Amino acid sequence: MPILEPGDHLLYSGSGFWSWTIKVKTWSKYSHVELYIGNSKTFTSRDGEGVNFYDFTDKNLAAVYRPNVPFDISKGMEWMKSVCGQKYDFLGLMRFFTLGKQSQDKQFCSEAVVRADRQCLIEAFNQVYDADLVSPGMFASSPHLDLVWEKEKTK
C-alpha cells in the first residue's frame, strides 16, 4: 500500500448487508469511500455513525485513488467541520437508485466525499451529478483521480 497523502480517496469493499446491497445495486465492487485528510484521519459518513472525522482503517480497503489535479484539503476543512455530527442518510442512499429526494441534514459516504471534493477545489463529477446520485464505485471512473493502489485478489 502506498504512503497515503491528503486528498487520497479510499475505496472499500465490505461484506455486510448494506455493503452487499450497495455493490449489487450499483454494479460495483466498492461499497464505501473515505477521504484521507492526513495524520491517519479520514472524512466520511459511516453507516450507523454519521458524518465525522475517523481514524484510518485498512479493514476492507480495496483501492486508493489520488487526485491528478490540484487539490487543497485546507479549502474544505471548514466545510467538513461544519457537517460533522450529521446522521447517516439511509433514505438518501436509496436516492442514487432513483427513489426519494435530497436531504440537507444527513449524508451517506459518497455524498459527503463528493461535497468535500467540491470544497477542496476538485470537481470530481463536475456538478453534473447531484452528490446524492454518486455511488462509491463512481470514484474509480473519475478522470480527476488516478489509481495508485489496489488490493491483490487472493484465491
Question: What are the pLDDT digits (tens) for 105-151?
Answer: 899 999 999 999 999 977 666 666 678 788 899 999 998 999 999 99
- Evaluate whether residue 155 is within a structural domain: no
- Grid coordinates representing 120 are 477542496
CA–CA dist 145, 65 (Å, integer): 6
Which 3 state secondary structure label does DSSP give 75? helix
pLDDT at 98 over 60: no
Q: In what order do the strands lie in the sheet with 145-150?
A: 50-55, 41-46, 32-38, 9-12, 61-67, 145-150
- Evaluate whether residue 37 is within a structural domain: yes
Percentage of the residues of the chain whose pLDDT score is greater than 90: 62
Looking at the structure of the chain, the number of domains it has is 1
CATH number, domain at 92? 3.90.1720.10
Res. 101 pLDDT band, cuts 50 70 90: low
- Evaluate whether residue 3 is within a structural domain: no
- Evaluate whether residue 101 is within a structural domain: yes
